[in-house]
Amino acid sequence: MVRTISLLLAALCSNGLLASELQVVLQDAEGKPLSDAVVWISPGPSPVNVANPQLSAVMDQQRRTFVPYVLAVQRGTEVTFPNSDPINHHVYSFSPAKRFELRLHHQGEVAQKMLFDQAGLVTLGCNVHDWMLGFILVLDSPWFSQTDASGRARLRYSAGKDQQLNLWHPQIADAEANLSRPLPTQGMARINLTQPLKRDPRPQPAPVKLGGSY
């Protein structure tokens, strides 16, 4: 009977059914909430055996911008690149984690897909529209989330040893050493950045010409 219960608990944990929860509150150096930041938990030395039921995501093109601006995915995720604009886009990445080019035709065409099988930061651009900029952060962890407009995020995870809480956003200027910390045990993490945010790296889009397609 004891062995049966132990096996059941192990199965529940491996499927993420007995998960801990962590709430994160992120503020910049001025005390304002920071949205779109990626927060994730590094699993530590123990191998992760958690099935992710949705290893797929979408990076759209809308009004000549990448939507979402920042996309976090687990390694092994297939990302679909639809084009919701009535114009063509030529999406590319020169990042070591994923180098590729996708010619996206106007809306209504079949969306193209790309497998992201290496962890790291992938910076996206468009050869047609120089101001377009987006990011895909590929993580070696199934436990991640992104902060909302109030700077809050919620993570559900399986507790283990030596786990770390990590943080990333393209405008954060704090040293990398300050963006990773031991996982708190009280279920709440309040993170206050110490350095002013970097300037938003997205260039201003070109004005739309009357009667034009761009």
Annotate 2-45 with DSSP letters as a single string: HHHHHHHHHHHHHTTSS-EEEEEEEE-TTS-B--S-EEEEE--S
Using CA atoms, how far apart are residues 209 and 120, in angstroms rounded to an integer? 37
Query: What CATH number belongs to 49-140?
Result: 2.60.40.420
Mean pLDDT, rounded, of the chain: 86
Q: Would you say residue 15 has pLDDT above 80?
A: no
Instruction: Give 10's pLDDT tier (boundaries 50, 70, 90).
Output: very low
Q: Would you say residue 18 has pLDDT above 80?
A: no
Question: What pLDDT shows up at residue 43?
Answer: 86
Cβ-based neighbours of 31, under 8 Å, separated by 6 or more:
192
Give the residue extent of every domain in the chain.
24-48+147-198, 49-140
Q: pLDDT, tens digit, for every residue of 48-84? A: 554 455 689 999 999 999 999 999 999 999 999 999 9
Asked if residue 107 lies in contact with residue 62, where contact means CB atoms within 8 angstroms, the answer is no
* Matching fold, domains 24-48+147-198 and 49-140: yes
pTM (two decimals): 0.84
- The closest alpha carbon to 82, from 110, 40, 45, 63, belongs to 110
Class of domain 24-48+147-198: mainly beta
Which has more confidence, 63 or 138? 138
Q: Would you say residue 212 has pLDDT above 80?
A: no
Comparing 21-25, 41-45, 72-76, 180-184, the range with the smallest average pLDDT is 41-45
